[in-house]
Amino acid sequence: MSAPPDDLVAAATDAARGAYAPYSGFHVGAALLFDDGAVVPAANVENASFGLSLCAEANAVARAMTEGRRGGLVAVAIVGGRPDAAGAVVTGGEPVMPCGRCRQMLHELAALGGTDPEIIGVSESGLTRMSLSALLPHAFGPANLA
Ligand code: THU
């Protein structure tokens, strides 16, 4: 993907409205784009037992794989911040890029189809766009267990 991914960012922004984050107050939406044009969105879901909280990207991977997807991951947009009075997420000065665990989960789905998806983080000043392989070099994945 080289054109500005406005639709994917919009999907991630909309997904953040579904966040359940009463403990951190930090709402995150992620949207996965596949090579058939499908977009799979998800939000973060926290728990009173804080360590059980689930990131938006992890939920999106689980959702896509539950739908039967095994590869074809082209791009991922992530939008995170605190919501305004109307519930819309307000991004800060630094983009939210996937945490380490989520990088690994995204790699599993991507590796199944042999793609290196573009990861797009949104900040108030614009987009940060990097390949997953740059964010997670020398990744451990399915090939290691083959
Ligand atoms: N979070 C995500 O959903 N994705 C990330 O990439 C970073 C962090 C969530 C987890 C938690 O619910 C909240 O943001 C604060 O860490």
pLDDT confidence of residue 83: 96
Task: Quote the ligand 1 centre to 121 CA distance (angstroms).
Answer: 13
Nearest C-alpha neighbor of 122 from the set 87, 88, 97:
97
57 as an active site residue: the answer is: yes
Structural domains of the chain, with CATH: 5-139 (3.40.140.10)
* Lookup: tokens for 90: 């307000």
Task: Quote the ligand 1 centre to 105 CA distance (angstroms).
Answer: 14
Q: What is the pLDDT of residues 93-146, one digit of tens each?
A: 999 999 999 999 999 999 999 999 999 999 999 999 999 999 999 999 999 999
92 alpha-carbon distance from chain centroid: 17
Cα–Cα dist 99/44, whole Å: 12
Nearest C-alpha neighbor of 73 from the set 4, 8, 14:
8
pTM score of the predicted model: 0.96
pLDDT confidence of residue 4: 53
Residue 35 is given by DSSP the state T
pLDDT confidence of residue 128: 97
Q: Could you tell me if the CB of 119 is within 6 A of ligand 1?
A: no
Q: What is the pLDDT of residues 23-80, one digit of tens each?
A: 999 999 999 999 999 999 999 999 999 999 999 999 999 999 999 999 999 999 999 9
Residue that has been written with the tokens 């991507």 in this structure: 110
Task: Quote the ligand 1 centre to 102 CA distance (angstroms).
Answer: 10
pLDDT confidence of residue 138: 98
Read off the pLDDT band of 5 (50, 70, 90).
confident
* CA dist list (Å): 33 to 54, 99, 110: 20, 19, 11
pLDDT confidence of residue 1: 53
* Lookup: tokens for 81: 């911040």
Atom of ligand 1 nearest to the CA of 98: 6
